[in-house]
């Protein structure tokens, strides 16, 4: 279906600045256009009066299946949370439960304006199966751990490639996803770097998330986690680094020179008591900065509007500087910067001719956005996600007038609750 979106206000990022314009928009074959339909073209008109139409937000680091563990292991130290909370549940949770939990994640993402997510998952085929059903745009990776990608008994790399072969399409792409430097050997990390170049695939990893990780790495390897990855040939412009909280002298320069992206996860880092990434330094050094929620076991929401606000507020506070992280910077971290990290600059995170029609419609008459003194500011400081009224991904509505169109929410709630009762 083609659409004419009329009477709306559009959030336009021209590279210099973000502005709000009143203009009609045309969705033709899943792509954004400013060129009106000609006679003979069929389309439906969408009245977007009192709506802000903007690019869908891109959550650059999450674990969708983790919704099943929302509020399960809170208020405990990071290593307890991971090794005694999360990992034992992952061991006993059946794959099908992970698919229902991923669908629950997509309900929350869509309702709060996220159209694209970068996932690291632990259950073969479940995340792409769920994303395909939901109509989400995803960059998905089977979590890799162990000593050697190709060793007998370690099936994860094979599964990662099987998922890519089975599901890769216009909306689903695949990312090599070694879990962390403390769950993967240096051999495996070097192999991932080689495979990323050979297969021309993006790669992601959790990095320098906690003081323990930094201390252990210094003891074991005599260098920081960032230096370790640089030495292994892991850092390049196809690398997405989640967290980067514990940065030592020279680490940020290595990241900048490599062209890698940092994804900061402010709520997760704060909640697990890990601190905050040095965001002001990251911006000063011109490193590509994106935002993630991380999984719901450590956030505990997938609401990117909350994350935008937190990112800005926390770093203004840390820097004692109200100009440290303006609203425009936060919005870009969740849109165009993410598109750059994903090598989709022309097509994602922006309203421009020929870009993918991943759009969200916000009701400007919700009290949190009213009056519209500064719409861009309101997205960072006032929006809470409940203003999202309709969501389009790849030119198809997945939610319209707050009705979910691709997911049976009641069935998802039933199945997730059943699995939580059985396995948590």
CB of 239 to Zn ion, least distance (A): 15
Identity of the residue, 140 or 393, whose beta carbon is nearer to Zn ion in the bound complex? 140
Instruction: Strands of 30-166 (E only): list them.
Output: 31-33, 44-47, 51-55, 57-62, 114-121, 137-144
Which residues are paired to 55 by β-bridges? 359
Q: Are 340 and 354 in contact (CB under 8 A)?
A: no
Chain residues 212-231 in contact with Zn ion, contact rule CB under 5 A: none
Identity of the residue, 19 or 79, whose beta carbon is nearer to Zn ion in the bound complex? 79
Q: Are 120 and 143 in contact (CB under 8 A)?
A: yes
Distance CA(244)–CA(355), nearest Å, equals 31
Alpha helices in 200-262 (DSSP H): 211-221, 225-231, 251-258
CB of 61 to Zn ion, least distance (A): 6
- At 45 the three-state DSSP class reads strand
Identity of the residue, 163 or 294, whose beta carbon is nearer to Zn ion in the bound complex? 294
Which residues are paired to 260 by β-bridges? none
CB of 130 to Zn ion, least distance (A): 18
# residues near Zn ion by CB under 5 A: 1
Distance CA(266)–CA(274), nearest Å, equals 10
CB of 206 to Zn ion, least distance (A): 5
Identity of the residue, 135 or 295, whose beta carbon is nearer to Zn ion in the bound complex? 295
CB of 325 to Zn ion, least distance (A): 22
Distance CA(346)–CA(335), nearest Å, equals 12
Identity of the residue, 90 or 294, whose beta carbon is nearer to Zn ion in the bound complex? 294
Identity of the residue, 294 or 389, whose beta carbon is nearer to Zn ion in the bound complex? 294
Strand bridging mode 359-363 / 388-393: antiparallel
Q: Which residue is nearest to Zn ion (CB)?
A: 294
CB of 263 to Zn ion, least distance (A): 9
Does 387 contact Zn ion by CB under 5 A?
A: no
Span near Zn ion by CB under 5 A; candidates 100-108, 293-301, 322-330, 353-361: 293-301
Angle (nearest 5°) at CA 341 between 32 and 359: 25
Report which DSSP code applies to 398. E
CB of 287 to Zn ion, least distance (A): 19
- In the stretch 39-78, what mask flags binding to Zn ion with x, by CB under 5 A? ----------------------------------------
Identity of the residue, 272 or 327, whose beta carbon is nearer to Zn ion in the bound complex? 272
Span near Zn ion by CB under 5 A; candidates 5-13, 42-50, 184-192, 289-297: 289-297
Identity of the residue, 294 or 358, whose beta carbon is nearer to Zn ion in the bound complex? 294
Distance CA(314)–CA(375), nearest Å, equals 21
Distance CA(204)–CA(186), nearest Å, equals 15
CB of 227 to Zn ion, least distance (A): 22
Does 209 contact Zn ion by CB under 5 A?
A: no
Span near Zn ion by CB under 5 A; candidates 111-119, 157-165, 212-220, 294-302: 294-302
Does 294 contact Zn ion by CB under 5 A?
A: yes
Which residues are paired to 177 by β-bridges? 143
Span near Zn ion by CB under 5 A; candidates 77-85, 168-176, 219-227, 288-296: 288-296
Which residues are paired to 240 by β-bridges? 204, 261
- At 99 the three-state DSSP class reads helix
Distance CA(110)–CA(328), nearest Å, equals 22
Distance CA(8)–CA(247), nearest Å, equals 43
CB of 390 to Zn ion, least distance (A): 29
Contact positions vs Zn ion (CB under 5 A): 294
């Amino acid at each position: 279906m083609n659409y004419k979106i009329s009477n709306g206000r559009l959030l336009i990022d021209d590279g210099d600045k973000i502005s709000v314009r009143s203009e009609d928009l045309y969705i033709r074959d899943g792509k954004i256009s400013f060129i009106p339909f000609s006679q003979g073209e069929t389309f439906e008109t969408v009245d977007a009066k009192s709506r802000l139409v903007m690019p869908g937000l891109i959550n650059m680091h999450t674990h969708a299946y983790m919704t099943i563990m929302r509020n399960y292991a809170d208020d405990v130290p990071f290593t307890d949370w991971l090794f005694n909370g999360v990992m034992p549940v992952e061991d006993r949770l059946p794959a099908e439960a992970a698919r229902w939990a991923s669908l629950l994640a997509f309900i929350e993402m869509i309702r709060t304006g996220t159209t694209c997510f970068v996932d690291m998952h632990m259950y073969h085929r479940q995340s792409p199966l769920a994303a395909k059903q939901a109509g989400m745009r995803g960059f998905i990776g089977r979590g890799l751990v162990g000593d050697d990608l190709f060793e007998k008994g370690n099936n994860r790399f094979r599964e990662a490639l099987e998922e890519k072969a089975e599901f890769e399409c216009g909306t689903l792409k695949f990312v090599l996803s070694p879990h962390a430097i403390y769950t993967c050997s240096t051999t495996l990390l070097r192999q991932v770097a080689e495979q990323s170049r050979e297969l021309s695939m993006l790669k992601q990893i959790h990095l320098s998330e906690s003081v323990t990780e930094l201390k252990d790495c210094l003891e074991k390897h005599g260098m920081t986690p960032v230096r370790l990855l640089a030495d292994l040939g892991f850092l390049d412009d196809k690398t997405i680094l989640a967290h980067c909280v514990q940065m030592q002298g020279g680490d940020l320069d290595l990241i900048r020179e490599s062209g890698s992206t940092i994804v900061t996860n402010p709520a997760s880092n704060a909640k697990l008591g890990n601190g905050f990434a040095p965001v002001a330094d990251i911006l000063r050094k011109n490193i590509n900065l994106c935002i993630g929620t991380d999984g719901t076991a450590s956030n505990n929401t997938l609401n990117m509007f909350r994350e935008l606000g937190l990112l800005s507020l926390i770093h203004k506070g840390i820097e004692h500087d109200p100009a440290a992280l303006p609203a425009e910077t936060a919005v870009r971290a969740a849109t165009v910067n993410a598109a750059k990290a994903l090598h989709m600059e022309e097509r994602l995170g922006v309203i421009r001719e020929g870009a993918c029609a991943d759009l969200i419609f916000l009701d400007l008459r919700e009290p949190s956005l009213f009056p519209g003194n500064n719409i861009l500011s309101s997205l960072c400081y006032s929006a809470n996600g409940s203003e999202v009224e309709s969501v389009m991904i790849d030119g198809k509505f997945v939610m319209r007038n707050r009705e979910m169109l691709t997911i049976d929410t009641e069935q998802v709630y039933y199945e997730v609750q059943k699995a939580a009762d059985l396995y948590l």
